[in-house]
Amino acid sequence: MVEAEFFLELLVSLLADPTRFDRRSQCPEIGVGRKVGQIVFLLAGRAPLADEPNFVAGHVLHALVADPLRRPVGDAHADGGEAGLKGGRRLYVGVQTSEKMSMAFEAEVTDKGGHSSRPTADNPIYRLSEGLARLSKFRFPTHLTDTTRQYFERRAGIETGSTRSDMLAAAKTPPDPAALERLSAVVETNILLRTTCTATQIEGGHAQNALPQRARATLQCRIVPGETQDSVRDTLARVLDDPTIKISVITPATPSPESPLSGDILPSVEKVAHQLWPEVVILPQMGAGASDSKYTRLAGMPSYGIDGMFDDLDDGRAHGRDERIGIAAFDQEVDFTYRLMRAVSRRR
């Protein structure tokens, strides 16, 4: 737990120069004003701060956790985590103990070009498209971690039939290959089994009557902890299988260690969650997306992302143009977070 006095220092620094922490080029009024009131509220009575997503871990800790303010502060409850529901049924509240490394590569093919009336076999759009088609059929090898093994073992408790059996088989050492194959066919579980890389943007050509001189695609990768940026790049080069496709890094990976599942973190979350949702289970999670907890973990603070905002697992819209949350879900998330902070503060 990070004591309130530490965050008060950070808050004072932020108020002195809020644009310093605006690393995403957001309007300071949006990025700061919405959070400052919450932090001031939490600081009342010098209570420990249990959870302040994004703002604390990223905008503040990333900027200030290094010298001179770096100090032993115990464990930080930072951003991340997921609460899931299906068919209107609440299933679980996740406690993020680790996350995949988020990074992006660019795959690019170039050529001298020419007039469109004189097509050639070296068309960059075709060559890149053929490489991407090979990537679309490729799956990285299975890579289970301590967190994902425990996830499948606990998640099996709320599943039935073959899904339950497959999750239990996946949690074993060694895991059952047939069970892994079936779980890999479902997006929700596939992303917990392996590193993934997918094309998210593509562009090419400069005129409708000219042969393209350039075609490029953005490949977004989410890398399981323990693997490296270089190993993923080597795999992509092998899968794209075309020496004319140049692979370069757009956004590098930031390694982040797993936080240990020790102490009373899971029982504490379970106790509070069951006050609101008695039917849910508490699951340790490896985040497939990116969170700011990686900065606190890198600074040596075990960090656990906890979220009571239930997302429909069959209707994911994160980062889409129609991303949304329910009003009732938002209100319950606020209530859950407040109760959790109070519970942890009393215990400390």
Asked whether residue 68 carries a pLDDT value surpassing 80, the answer given is no
Give 114: exposed, middle or buried? Use CB within 10 Å, 0-12, 13-18, 19+: middle
For 77-105, what is the mean pLDDT? 86
CB 158 within 8 A of CB 177: no
Asked if 80 and 293 count as a contact pair (C-beta separation under 8 A), the reply is yes
Q: Greater confidence, 39 or 85?
A: 85
Q: What is the pLDDT of residue 322?
A: 78
Beta bridge partners of 49: 2
Residue that the structure tokens 């069970």 belong to: 179
Write down the pLDDT at residue 198. Answer: 98
CB 312 within 8 A of CB 83: no
Q: What pLDDT was estimated at residue 60?
A: 41
Q: Inform me whether the pLDDT recorded for 325 exceeds 70.
A: yes
Please tell me whether the peptide bond between 212 and the residue prior to it is cis, using omega within 30 degrees of 0: no
Long-range contacts of 330-339 (CB under 8 A, 24+ apart): 332/276, 332/308, 333/307, 333/308, 333/309, 335/276, 336/272, 336/273, 336/276, 336/308, 337/50, 337/51, 337/306, 337/308, 339/272, 339/275, 339/276
Residue 80 has pLDDT above 50, yes or no: yes
The answer, yes or no, to whether residue 118 has pLDDT greater than 70, is yes
Judged against a pLDDT cut of 50, whether residue 48 lies above it is answered with no
H or E element, residue 296:
helix 293-298
**What average pLDDT score do residues 305-331 get?**
81
What does residue 332 show for φ and ψ, rounded to 5 degrees?
-70, -35
DSSP per position, 213-277: SEEEEEEEEEE-BTB-HHHHHHHHHHHH--TT-EEEEEE-----PPPP--TTHHHHHHHHHHHH-
In this structure, of 57-71, 83-97, 166-180, the range with the lowest mean pLDDT score is 57-71
Write phi, then psi, for 163 (nearest 5 degrees).
Answer: -65, -45
Question: Which CATH topology does 102-251 take?
Answer: Alpha-Beta Plaits (3.30.70)
- Is residue 205 pLDDT above 90, yes or no? yes
> d(Cα 36, Cα 241) in Å, to the nearest integer?
51
Residue 261, classified by CB atoms within 10 Å of its CB into exposed (0-12), middle (13-18) or buried (19+), is middle
Judge whether 98 and 144 are in contact, CB under 8 Å: no
pLDDT reading at 188 higher than 70 = yes
User: Which pTM value belongs to this model?
Assistant: 0.75
Identify the three-state secondary structure at position 102: strand
Phi, psi of 37 (to 5 degrees): -60, -40
% of the chain surpassing 90 pLDDT: 53
How many contiguous H segments (helices) and E segments (strands) does the chain have? 13, 11
Domain ranges of the chain: 1-75, 102-251
Of the chain, the percentage scoring pLDDT greater than 70 comes to 77
**How far is CA 171 from each of CA 67, 160, 176, 282, rounded to the nearest angstrom?**
41, 16, 9, 16
Per-residue pLDDT averaged across 32-48, rounded? 38
The band of 88, judged by pLDDT with boundaries at 50, 70 and 90, is confident
Q: What are the pLDDT digits (tens) for 107-117?
A: 999 999 999 99
Question: What is the per-residue pLDDT for 294?
Answer: 84
pLDDT of residue 13: 56
| pLDDT over 50 (residue 166) | yes
Residues 225 and 101: beta-carbon distance below 8 Å:
yes
Confidence of residue 348 (pLDDT cuts 50, 70, 90): low
Other beta carbons within 10 angstroms of residue 123's beta carbon come to 18
| In contact, 244 and 123? CB cutoff 8 Å | no
Predicted local distance difference test score (pLDDT) of residue 239: 98
Instruction: Give the per-residue pLDDT at 225.
Output: 93
pLDDT at 270 (0 to 100): 93
CA distance 93 to 340: 13
Whether the CB-CB separation of 215 and 107 falls below 8 Å is answered with: no
> How many whole angstroms from its chain centre is CA 101?
8
Q: For 7-21, 81-95, 147-161, 258-272, which range has the lowest pLDDT when averaged over its residues?
A: 7-21
